[in-house]
Amino acid sequence: MTQNTDSAAPVTDLLRRTIVECNVPLLVIERETGVKRASIMRFLRGERSLRLDKVDALAVYLGLKLVKHRNKAMSAAEGMALELARKAIAKETVVCEMVGDDKHLGIGWFTVDTSRAEPELAAFKGRLNEMKLKVTAAIIDDESSGNSFGCAVIVEAGSRFLSEMRRELKTARYAVQN
């Protein structure tokens, strides 16, 4: 999950919100998950908590997953990369822009195939390393809406960087669209 929350109960709050927002009748959720409608109603009202096996069943049904981040706080570069990945998903294209102190360039793209996100990111990072460019952040946003996944990297911009990056972006755009 790439969602940050200030809540003391982020999993509980997300589960409650997702159940309410999915607009699926609780009877259907009960039939599909085995979690009693009355238990779900008490959980939604905050009267009771749910056992973890019930939370697991609801999470699977609702398409939620819990992912551990490397550290609690995302670095500034990772935050910028995540923002670019989400822009790329929203625009369904490659996004390239100067970020931060204008000494870094961010490149974001989207893919609709989850099995391609990690290999695409690794290949792109490899190409950047071959060009002797320092990658300061790389991220895959798997919390997006629908089946699209966003990928992004932040690299330090050097003097020969921009002309080489234009050529690389044409290759990346072709790879992402095919």
Read off the CATH number of the domain in which 14 is found: 1.10.260
Q: Is residue 98 part of a domain?
A: yes
Q: What is the value of pTM for the model shown?
A: 0.47
The count of domains in the chain is 2
How far CA 160 is from CA of 24, 44, 107, 132, 157, in Å, comes to: 54, 56, 17, 11, 8
| Contact present, 172 and 84 (Cβ < 8 Å) | no
| Contact present, 92 and 148 (Cβ < 8 Å) | yes
Mean pLDDT by groups of 10 residues along the chain of 178 residues: 47 89 93 96 94 94 74 67 81 76 75 76 83 79 66 72 60 51
Q: Do residue 151 and residue 82 come from a single domain?
A: yes
Q: Do residue 83 and residue 142 come from a single domain?
A: yes
Q: Do residue 48 and residue 92 come from a single domain?
A: no
Q: Do residue 94 and residue 172 come from a single domain?
A: yes
pLDDT score of 178: 42
pLDDT score of 54: 95
Q: Do residue 84 and residue 34 come from a single domain?
A: no
Q: Do residue 42 and residue 101 come from a single domain?
A: no
Q: Is residue 3 part of a domain?
A: no
Q: Is residue 166 part of a domain?
A: yes
CA dihedral 24, 18, 29, 69 (to 10 degrees): 150
Q: Do residue 55 and residue 136 come from a single domain?
A: no
pLDDT score of 135: 83
Q: What is the domain extent for residue 58?
A: 10-62
